[in-house]
Amino acid sequence: MRVVGEIPHPDCKITLFSWNNRYLIKFECGLLEQTFKVAEYDVLQESDLYTLVDESFIQETLARFDAMNTSFRTRLQVIS
């Protein structure tokens, strides 16, 4: 797996990878992560990944992190 780059953001870590004929866009926020896979043939060049990950996409992903965190915290209460 090769790191293509990072997209700086104050609320999460965003790393771009190239692996196995696809690109991976990995978001990390605390203990949670989300990964989006994009086939290499769906983008013309690696720099298109930076266009794909715009602020709207990031905000949608952050909202999903909130939902994931709520769900996980609820499940943790079951075992404690």
Domain ranges of the chain: 2-79
Q: Is the pTM of this model over 0.85?
A: yes
Q: Which two tokens stand for residue 26?
A: 């990995």
Nearest to 58 by CA among 27, 15, 31, 30: 27
Residuewise pLDDT in 10s, the chain (80 residues): 999 999 999 999 999 999 999 999 999 999 999 999 999 999 999 899 999 999 999 999 999 999 999 999 999 888 87
Residue 42 main-chain phi, psi, to 5 deg = -85, -10
CA 76 distance to own-chain centroid: 23
- Percent of the chain past pLDDT 90, that is, above it, reads 89
- pLDDT for the residue 80: 74
Q: What percent of the chain has pLDDT over 70?
A: 100
Pairing of strands 32-39, 2-7: unpaired
